[in-house]
Structure 1
Amino acid sequence: MNYNWHWGVFLEQAAQNETYLDWMISGLKVTIALGLTSWVIALAIGSVLGVLRTVPNKWLSGLAAAYVEVFRNIPLLVQLFIWYFVGPELLPGGEAIKQMNPFAQQFLAAMLCLGTFTAARVCEQVRSGINSLPRGQTNAGLAMGFTLSQTYRFVLLPMAFRVIVPPLTSEFLNIFKNSAVASTIGLLELAAQGRQLVDYTARPYESFIAVTLMYALINIVVMLVMRWVEARSRVPGFIGSK
């Protein structure tokens, strides 16, 4: 391939007191912050909905199932546009949202979008984890005098979360990769900074190789952390133990 590689482009000055590498690091920080905050929302909402999917009350389980069907079947990009363009017009306090600085508006919309979208997937993981447990665990908890909510809290959920660590790891990784769609509303996360660098330097290969390596770095760190969590939470003699 007749291409003149120039990796030193990242050290060239992009703006006052900033290099192109600073742009990439800034995008990396935004991607990490967006992924982590969205994951907190997804895990919290998804866990509650996952429990509701398994309770005897048909209305509650039906409500959780409806949430999953809506958020899982509408394309992520469409959901992002709804949160960014339509949400401020419909949500209480919409005027305050519209008066935020552009970065805050973009970050908030992307965070809520990724969080609520991933929550539907986490919900199904939690539901599957609870349903995979022997029926006797529920009966044992109730026989000991626990209420249903106490049985979930002290018996079912501690075991279910141990079972679903591997699939939750995949969802955790996906939330960082899905964050790239936020560039469509102007948020300068990692992918957007890569495209901006191409526009300014006409160095597409160097730019997107760097973006790829940074996404790979995020994935490696997440995998190592989740493997540590899985090892620490493993129950001897149960699923996934050695």
Structure 2
Amino acid sequence: MTHPEHSGPQLARLAGLLADDTRARFCLALLDGRAWTAGELARHAGIAPSTASEHLSRLVDGGLLAEERQGRHRYLRLAGPHIAQLIEDLSAHAAPAPPPRSLRAAGASGAMARARTCYDHLAGRLATEITSALFARGLLQQETGFALTDAGMGWFGELGIDLAAARGRRPLVRSCLDWTERKPHLAGAAGAALCRHALDTGWCVRIGSRRALRVTEEGRRAFRELLGVRVPD
């Protein structure tokens, strides 16, 4: 168990890792759930590779990122779902971003708000609408936290999603505060499995940035028929 007198310095070190704009940009980019090369992250942040390497090493040493090397490439990803939850939760409590200054930026911002991935599960307006529909149909309930009902377990089974195999050692379901909608959406093993199913079936496709999603016509029909969710344009 961590001693109380150690919690202050440890929290300060963690906050210090995210107090830098470049390191924060790296963590936000990696919320797409995939591994990026150090070079890709450097270009994303608009900094030199040598500068990016220094920041990335600090994040790895601090336990926020994990890395692996393949040949001459260094791949980075978030250290796990718990880190993704931390980044997303902090984003939800941050001050709103300033209004976009161009049509392109406004379009990208709108796409992210409509539907995106949050590490390995769905986020944005699509995700909060799905979560509300799960509650309304008695498939999801909230007591001390999110929990699937028996009907909810059956609903996932009817989609062909084996939650027992998907769960592993992580929570089956949990609430994740959406940073654009400021409402909770479904996360955990079930949220990740639903996102994977939506991508595998072609209900959603990635667009623009690595996180933004577009719901296809097939996806619109599926979400409407399965949950009564009318996907926003």
TM-score normalized by the length of structure 1 = 0.26
Q: Which has the higher strand share?
A: 2
Q: Which has the higher helix share?
A: 1
Q: Which has the higher Rg, Structure 1 or Structure 2?
A: 1
